[in-house]
A and B are shown apart, each in its own frame.
Chain A
Amino acid sequence: MAKPLTKPKRKNPVLRTRAPMLPPAPRSRISLGLTSGAARGAFELQVCRDCGAVQYPPREACRECLSDRLDWTLQSGTGELVAHTTLRHAMENYFRERLPWRLGIVKLDGDGPHDAPSLIVHVHGDCAEPPARVRIRAMLDRAGQAVLLALPEKDTPHMSDDPQMRELTCDPKFRKVFVTDGKGPVGQAVVRAMIAAGSDLVWVGEAAPWKKIPGFEEIRALPEVTVVDLDVTNPDSVKRCAGQIGPKVDILVNTAEQHRAYSVGGRYGTENARAEMEINYFGLLRLAQEFGPVMMARGADTETNAVAWVNILSIFALANKPDQSTFSASKAAAHSLAQAMRAGMHRSGVRVINLYPGPLDVEWNQELRPPKVTPAALARSIVGALQGGAEDIYPGDVAKDWYERWRTDPKVLERELAHGE
């Protein structure tokens, strides 16, 4: 059983903050298919359309029949650990600094016409000696590439505290979280969810302190919470806030959002659209410029290092919802920027997690029919993402449906949305 994590000691301030090292990152183009699945939290392998053989490692042509018609297909991931070893020496700096490291070979279950493949995997400390039943999960490592982790068949106590597991996740337990806007219903739900997930210090941003928002005084009174001034539309405010708490943020959750529901012609002029861009896009850019560098510098700072940046985007970022046109556009801009942030922050091991929820059950979606994602459900998705190994999350039925339609054919989705479907 994994040793339960206890609150880490404070960092010795006379010691250097170590530079973040990354696991080996290069992958072939074909291998990135595994990363594509892992980014969504899915374990996918190629399956031959002609003979049904499951492929591993990823390849151009079927290992049985040489067909090139290989489809990435969701796997159940059950199998048997047939061999394992514990690394005590490594040439890669990333592993050298994290030894010992457990590796193994897992034979996947299979009832197809061909032998199921055997996989090289990382092995959770709670997996029994081989032969042992295990579950395989595809997770992103600190370099943002897919690795496979063998987990015990059934959950064990303190499973997420396993050191190898914690390397692949961004668990809020004992980490310091910054929720950029704690006043709205989403911000409040995120604060409560982070505390429930074991964060012992949550910084909560407050803009426009004169606005009395129901529930915020209760948030302010929570013992784990410290409220800080932050208005993401004000560069000076963002700079001050980063100077004040930047080196004390392990997980940043950007909940600052401007949301109105107008079609292109539904709101004359650009004042409203600018306000959405000012917070949803420029606000993110300001945060990235002020908090990004200091978080990247702390990618390997002790056991409670900087690990994650969470953006709450919208499924409307992928395809514009015409009756929320300018909001969708601002989220599309943020989505694009978040891609660039990810490219930059991967170098430090800090994971950029993007959530693309369907419509939330909040004021400006009052007129939308259910299903709508409640703030509490969205907050649970964020915690789940941090505790898992994915980076792109689609909370809610609407988001999952849109995402599948968008993957299949963005043009068809565009036309359907134009007709209000």
Chain B
Amino acid sequence: MTANPLLDMVRGISERKIRVIDLTQTLSPDFPQIELPPEMGQCWPFRLEEVSRYDDRGLAAYWNNFSCGEHTGTHFDAPIHWVSGRNLPNNSTDTVPVENMVAPACVVDCAKHAEQNADFLLSADFLRNWEEEHGRIPPRSWVLMRTDWSKRQDPESYQNFDEEGQHTPGPDTDAVRFLVEERDVMGFGSECIGTDAGQAMHLRPPYPCHYYIHGAGRYGLQCLTNLDLLPPTGSVLFTAPLKIKQGSGSPLRVLALVWEGWADSPAPV
């Protein structure tokens, strides 16, 4: 033991006692983007254009210009993203307190339910049952909804549209209110393209996760992956969005630290 626990942590990482797990999807032009009705303004998908590739445009260098919306790929939602959070202090990517970018996570496994029902809604009772097994959700922690949705590799089944729109799992209104009002969570994270379910425009209110989470000044994470590698409790997330002035969100690299001692987690790759 040294006097500085940070150095213990770093040594733990180098000795693989602490695993670093990447919860981020690769930013690729092929990764699907949120799809809105065509008369609405649209969030740009990720696009990459070469500046040069050791050629007449620049013999010594390969580099690209990229473009995307703030809500592209694995991304962070700031409170200002939603109308309910528009007047809160420190509600945009440049003013979110950096202390909130490091926080523990609880992972709620809904994979079986989502497999059986793409429109599965996580309820407050489901969360209470989860707490029976894993303990009370600590304040200021992330709640991540594991659905294994990120394992859907082809964009069509990931988006999962039919003529009535998108069918992807998410939380119901009571679950979100429970997390915000009774558990004081840092935010809610999903493997799907939004924190809300694909059919959440038909819930009351529409998009309850966006509405209540951001209305309480809390955050969202979307398009996460590798949640199946996390223990139900005890991991720590690093979630620093780009410091975009008045940004409503940002693509980001989400890293999780996991203490190796957890029994069920697979060996590091």
Interface residues of A (CB under 8 A from B): 208-212, 231, 233-237, 269, 271-272, 275
Complex alpha-carbon distance, A236 and B35, angstroms: 21
Query: Is B156 interfacial (CB-CB < 8 Å)?
Result: yes
Neighbouring B residues of A271 by C-beta, 8 Å: 41-42
A211 near B35: Cβ-Cβ < 8 Å: yes
Query: Is B48 interfacial (CB-CB < 8 Å)?
Result: yes
Q: Which of A210, A236, A272 has the most CB of B within 10 A?
A: A210
Complex alpha-carbon distance, A210 and B47, angstroms: 18
B41 near A210: Cβ-Cβ < 8 Å: no
Complex alpha-carbon distance, A234 and B48, angstroms: 8
| Contact flag A234-B160 (CB < 8 Å), given A209-B155, A210-B35, A271-B41 | no
Q: How large is the interface on B (under 10, 10 to 19, 20 to 34, 35 or more residues)?
A: 20 to 34
Neighbouring A residues of B49 by C-beta, 8 Å: 235
14 contacts between A and B (CB under 8 A): A208-B155, A209-B154, A210-B32, A210-B159, A210-B161, A231-B29, A234-B29, A234-B47, A235-B50, A236-B30, A236-B48, A237-B29, A271-B42, A272-B41
Query: Is B163 interfacial (CB-CB < 8 Å)?
Result: yes
Chain B minimum-CB-distance residue to A271: B41
Neighbouring A residues of B30 by C-beta, 8 Å: 234, 236-237
B163 near A236: Cβ-Cβ < 8 Å: no
* Given A210-B32, A235-B48, A237-B29, 12 further pairs, Cβ under 8 A: A208-B32, A208-B155, A209-B155, A210-B155, A211-B161, A231-B29, A234-B29, A234-B30, A234-B47, A235-B49, A269-B41, A271-B41
Neighbouring A residues of B162 by C-beta, 8 Å: 212
Q: How far is the CB of A231 from chain B (nearest CB, A)?
A: 8
Neighbouring B residues of A233 by C-beta, 8 Å: 45, 47
Complex alpha-carbon distance, A208 and B34, angstroms: 11
Neighbouring B residues of A235 by C-beta, 8 Å: 29, 47-50
Pick from B35, B41, B48: contact of A208, CB under 8 Å: B35
Q: How far is the CB of B67 from chain A (nearest CB, A)?
A: 10
Neighbouring B residues of A236 by C-beta, 8 Å: 29-30, 48
Neighbouring B residues of A211 by C-beta, 8 Å: 35, 161
B32-74, CB under 8 A of A: which get 1 and which 0?
Answer: 1001000001100101111000000000000000000000000
Chain B minimum-CB-distance residue to A282: B49
- Enumerate B74-91 residues with CB–CB distance to A below 8 Å: none
Complex alpha-carbon distance, A211 and B158, angstroms: 12
B118-156, CB under 8 A of A: which get 1 and which 0?
Answer: 000000000000000000000000000000000000111
B157-189, CB under 8 A of A: which get 1 and which 0?
Answer: 011111100000000000000000000000000
Q: How far is the CB of B32 from chain A (nearest CB, A)?
A: 6
Pick from A210, A231, A269: contact of B160, CB under 8 Å: A210
Complex alpha-carbon distance, A33 and B48, angstroms: 45
Complex alpha-carbon distance, A271 and B158, angstroms: 26
For the complex, would chain A's binding face be called helix, strand, loop or mixed by DSSP majority?
loop
Interface residues of B (CB under 8 A from A): 29-30, 32, 35, 41-42, 45, 47-50, 154-156, 158-163
Chain B minimum-CB-distance residue to A231: B29
Complex alpha-carbon distance, A272 and B36, angstroms: 13
Chain B minimum-CB-distance residue to A235: B49
Q: Which of B32, B41, B48 has the most CB of A within 10 A?
A: B41
Neighbouring A residues of B154 by C-beta, 8 Å: 209
Q: How far is the CB of B248 from chain A (nearest CB, A)?
A: 14
Neighbouring A residues of B29 by C-beta, 8 Å: 231, 234-237
Neighbouring B residues of A234 by C-beta, 8 Å: 29-30, 45, 47
Complex alpha-carbon distance, A155 and B50, angstroms: 53
Chain B minimum-CB-distance residue to A236: B29
Neighbouring A residues of B35 by C-beta, 8 Å: 208, 210-211
Neighbouring A residues of B160 by C-beta, 8 Å: 210
Complex alpha-carbon distance, A208 and B166, angstroms: 14
Q: How far is the CB of B158 from chain A (nearest CB, A)?
A: 8
Neighbouring B residues of A208 by C-beta, 8 Å: 32, 35, 155
B42 near A209: Cβ-Cβ < 8 Å: no
Neighbouring A residues of B159 by C-beta, 8 Å: 210
B50 near A212: Cβ-Cβ < 8 Å: no
Complex alpha-carbon distance, A211 and B156, angstroms: 8
Neighbouring A residues of B41 by C-beta, 8 Å: 269, 271-272
Complex alpha-carbon distance, A211 and B163, angstroms: 9
Complex alpha-carbon distance, A379 and B155, angstroms: 31
A275 near B42: Cβ-Cβ < 8 Å: yes
Pick from A209, A231, A269, A275: contact of B156, CB under 8 Å: A209
A212 near B48: Cβ-Cβ < 8 Å: no
Neighbouring B residues of A237 by C-beta, 8 Å: 29-30
Neighbouring B residues of A269 by C-beta, 8 Å: 41
Complex alpha-carbon distance, A236 and B49, angstroms: 9
Q: How far is the CB of B167 from chain A (nearest CB, A)?
A: 11
Chain B minimum-CB-distance residue to A268: B41
Q: Which of B35, B47, B155 has the most CB of A within 10 A?
A: B47
Chain B minimum-CB-distance residue to A229: B30
Neighbouring B residues of A209 by C-beta, 8 Å: 154-156
Complex alpha-carbon distance, A236 and B46, angstroms: 12
Neighbouring A residues of B45 by C-beta, 8 Å: 233-234
Complex alpha-carbon distance, A387 and B42, angstroms: 40
Complex alpha-carbon distance, A6 and B45, angstroms: 46
Question: What 9 pairs between A and B have smallest CB-CB spacing?
Answer: A210-B159, A234-B29, A210-B156, A209-B156, A210-B161, A271-B41, A236-B29, A212-B161, A210-B155
Chain B minimum-CB-distance residue to A210: B159
Q: How far is the CB of B259 from chain A (nearest CB, A)?
A: 38
Neighbouring A residues of B158 by C-beta, 8 Å: 210
Neighbouring B residues of A231 by C-beta, 8 Å: 29
Complex alpha-carbon distance, A390 and B255, angstroms: 60
Complex alpha-carbon distance, A271 and B67, angstroms: 13
Q: How far is the CB of B246 from chain A (nearest CB, A)?
A: 15
Complex alpha-carbon distance, A262 and B161, angstroms: 28
Q: How far is the CB of B56 from chain A (nearest CB, A)?
A: 14
Complex alpha-carbon distance, A42 and B48, angstroms: 45
Chain A minimum-CB-distance residue to B69: A271
Neighbouring A residues of B32 by C-beta, 8 Å: 208, 210
